[in-house]
Amino acid sequence: MQLIKAIVHQARRCETDAAVAFAGGVATFGALMGQTAAVIEVLRTLGVSAGQFVVLDVRQPVHHLALIYALALLGVRSASVGASFTTELTGPAPDLFLTDRDGLPATKAPLRKLDNRWFMFEAGRPVDYAALMAMPGFANADDVFRYVYSSGTTGRPKCVALTCGVMELRLAHFLFTIGQRSSSGSPINLMGFSTVPGIMAPLFAHTRGSMLCYPASSAETLEMIRLFGVGAINGAAMQIQGLLAALGNASPPASLRSVGINAAKIPPALLAATRQRLSSHVFSAYGTTELGIMTFATDADLERTDGASGYLLPWVRMEVVDEEGTPLPGGQSGIVRAQSDELAFYVDEAGQPSEMLVDGWFYPGDYGRIEADGLVVITGRTSEVINRGGVIVAPDYIEDVLRLDPMVEDAAVVGVPTDSGFDQIWAAVVAPVPLDLDAVLAAAWLKLNERSPDRIFQVAALPRAESGKVKRNALRDELVARAAS
């Protein structure tokens, strides 16, 4: 893969320029490459070699980036996990699991805790860029560069393989799409390394010789914007909403030229507040881990109609079909399906491709329509998955965790709309005795993290149809009524 070597080449040209800003300070390109070279030697000592697979749970952003770059230069596949990580990973078993935190549950893969010594390099000693450029890397465009754990279409985890060729194509297409105004100035990335945007952000910034900021909180985001004159910021809808709350009544950041919001549908109130309080130039991209970005929208597109997600990109083909898969006329709502040159693929436990297309099409799990002029409008989800501001989860996934409590006889979960435009996760449990609901939630949090319910209720019974399926609309009405009483 040549992308990482393009970063090495860029670093050699701008060694003393800042590459990463984070809570602990700033790392130059030279320091980042020095840490990359140092950790390569540690990985070799551990026996890590080309063709293996390593999972990263590393919170320090410079260390995380150095590991991603080092592993790619060694020809080693990698994946990152974040706050929602559980040890029950899908896809192939990793050969090594690296972390910088304590208290991680036991994993099937060998676990090693890293520290600052892994990244130490001799101060004043020149980085051997020639040696880094001579590293084997990945031999072919079809070699897998990264695995990403996705649950977007069903709410259940799946392992998505991104090849070197697909990643390079996605980055090239992103450069064509984003435009100068949306990418000028030092950017801030709010997306985690475990996501596709989270790995594309440093590759995009560092191949251009730009600094990338990694704030640890909304307040720190505002501080970095002002300190480094940040021109662009990209994050999930919930993250942008948190940034607005932290800004309060303060003046909008003067340097901020654009705000990217990752969401299929942006609530009108959030769009208006972002344009008024952060930047008048807002853009959004609708896509999936599996298929990449499918549409791109500017603020004018987003304001045109509720649910607008922008216009199809040139390398994407999209149809709206009925339940039988028959294409519907333009302007008529139905099930969205798409094809793209950026297609990734699912992998099974053996690392072999598994089926993700239906008759050659990928179904992202959305209802929508395509207007006569090509504007794509997303109107809802085709499944029962809950989208809490970008956190996608299947109700039965949460229900399975709640039923682990020996006193819980039955459980059901629904998404409840709020004034913010995002769903909250509400749960109902059935038990023969009164439960300590706070304790039930605390236990669920250990496995679900940000997928844990926002509210929980104990009910006498769940409303079910004759088929046995939970009547989620009836349950939602019941819980909303109880909350209001």
Query: 79 forms bridges with which residues in the sheet?
Result: 55
Helix (H) or strand (E) holding 10: helix 2-13
- Rounded to 10 degrees, the C-alpha dihedral 331/337/341/344 comes to 150
For tokens 């629904």, what's the residue?
Answer: 414
**pTM, whole model, 2 decimals?**
0.84
25 half-sphere exposure, CB direction, 13 A CA radius:
4
Structural domains in the chain, CATH included, are 2-380 (3.40.50.12780), 386-484 (3.30.300.30)
Query: 52 forms bridges with which residues in the sheet?
Result: none
d(C-alpha 25, C-alpha 138), whole Å:
32
> What are the pLDDT tens digits along the chain (485 aa)?
689 999 999 999 999 999 999 998 999 999 999 999 999 999 999 999 999 999 999 999 999 999 999 999 999 999 998 754 554 578 999 999 999 988 766 677 889 999 999 999 987 889 999 999 999 999 999 999 999 988 666 666 789 999 999 999 999 998 888 765 555 668 998 988 988 999 999 999 999 999 999 999 999 999 999 999 999 999 988 789 889 999 999 999 999 999 999 877 788 888 999 999 999 999 999 999 999 999 999 989 999 888 899 999 999 999 999 888 999 999 998 999 999 999 999 999 988 999 899 999 999 988 899 999 999 998 877 777 787 776 777 787 888 889 899 999 889 999 998 877 778 999 999 999 999 999 999 999 988 887 899 999 999 999 886 556 788 888 999 999 999 98
d(C-alpha 414, C-alpha 424), whole Å:
8
Q: Which of 418, 408, 390, 423 is nearest to 84 (CA)?
A: 390
Q: Let me know: does 340 contact 314? Beta carbons within 8 Å.
A: no
